[in-house]
Amino acid sequence: MIELQTPAQIEEMRPAGRFVAEVLTALAEAADVGVNLLELDALAHRMIKDRGAESCYIDYHPSFGASPFGKVLCTSVNDAVLHGLPHDYKLRDGDLLSVDFACSVDGWVSDSALSVVVGTPRQEDLDLIATTTRALEAGIAAAQPGNKVGDISHAIGNVAREAGLKVNLQFGGHSVGRTMHGDLHISNDGRPGRGFKLQPGLVIAIEPWFMHTTDEIYTDPDGWTLRSADGSRGAHMEHTVAITPDGPLVLTDRSM
């Protein structure tokens, strides 16, 4: 069932969005050459505990996961493009790191992701992050009341096509509320004017993710981490967005 929140409930969701934004900002600042992925997970774990929040990931066990996730972050490095399971790996100069984080504060969930380059960047990685960011911004701009889910998907896909990128349609955005993954799926490409009508009170996670030269993925032996089929790197950007009568409200805005 796709749920709509009242204006009062959307206000109640703001603290979760702010906290998720704070954690991702702290993680982006902490990510450096020599930092272990397990250290990043431990930092997020401490912040969750200090806030009295609840992880959405530790016990998460969907059909595509080999076992309960067991960590509080997804840390995807280089050709690991989604659902990266934190493990004993020290970040190296030039690594492309994507971090995905969702948690519940006072019973409300927010979900967000970002990609950063650790140390000395490759221009193609910076370009990929910039394209993924533009796609997220385009998707948010299309999240207007009265539009359709397909308008968001089409806006994201247009940015990818203009950059010469292929789009994987297996994983994308979703509705958000009391749980992390609601019933509404938001593909990263699609036809405008199609799908569920966007209404005030709908809260969604919009999350474009692209790879340099492929749209094919496979699952790592850890049972969770998704890697590009050809070894190319990936970038992932995500925000939790509420549809309001005045337009989209980004609950996980990190610029505030």
Binding site feature residues for a divalent metal cation: 100, 111, 174, 207, 238
CB 113 within 8 A of CB 238: yes
Q: Is residue 2 part of a domain?
A: no
Q: How confident is the model at residue 244 (pLDDT cuts 50, 70, 90)?
A: very high
CB 242 within 8 A of CB 3: no
Residue written as tokens 């509320």? 177
> What is the tally of structural domains in the chain?
1
Q: Is residue 189 part of a domain?
A: yes
Domain boundaries, position 67? 7-250
Say how far residue 159 (Cα) sits from the centre of its chain.
17
Judged against a pLDDT cut of 80, whether residue 1 lies above it is answered with no
Q: Is residue 60 part of a domain?
A: yes
Q: Is residue 255 part of a domain?
A: no
What is the arithmetic mean of pLDDT over 22-37?
A: 98
**Separation between Cα atoms, residue 139 and residue 159, nearest integer Å:** 10
- pLDDT, tens only, 191-240: 999 999 999 999 999 999 999 999 999 999 999 999 999 999 999 999 99
Binding site feature residues: 83, 100, 111, 174, 181, 207, 238
Judged against a pLDDT cut of 90, whether residue 132 lies above it is answered with yes
Q: Is residue 97 part of a domain?
A: yes
- pLDDT, tens only, 174-200: 999 999 998 999 999 999 999 999 999
Judged against a pLDDT cut of 80, whether residue 43 lies above it is answered with yes
Q: Is residue 1 part of a domain?
A: no
Judged against a pLDDT cut of 80, whether residue 256 lies above it is answered with no
Binding site feature residues for substrate: 83, 181
CB 132 within 8 A of CB 237: yes
What is the arithmetic mean of pLDDT over 114-137?
A: 98
Judged against a pLDDT cut of 80, whether residue 26 lies above it is answered with yes
CB 59 within 8 A of CB 92: no
Judged against a pLDDT cut of 90, whether residue 32 lies above it is answered with yes
The mean predicted confidence, pLDDT, of the chain is: 97
Q: How confident is the model at residue 2 (pLDDT cuts 50, 70, 90)?
A: confident
Q: Give the per-residue pLDDT at 17.
A: 98
CATH at residue 175: 3.90.230.10
Q: Is residue 98 part of a domain?
A: yes
The DSSP bridge partners found for residue 103 are 55, 110
- pLDDT, tens only, 75-85: 999 999 999 99
- pLDDT, tens only, 138-186: 999 999 999 999 999 999 999 999 999 999 999 999 999 999 998 999 9
E-only strand ranges, the chain: 54-55, 74-77, 80-82, 96-105, 108-117, 173-175, 185-186, 203-206, 209-211, 217-219, 226-228, 234-236, 239-244, 247-250
- pLDDT, tens only, 56-109: 999 988 888 888 999 999 999 999 999 999 999 999 999 999 999 999 999 999
Q: Is residue 175 part of a domain?
A: yes
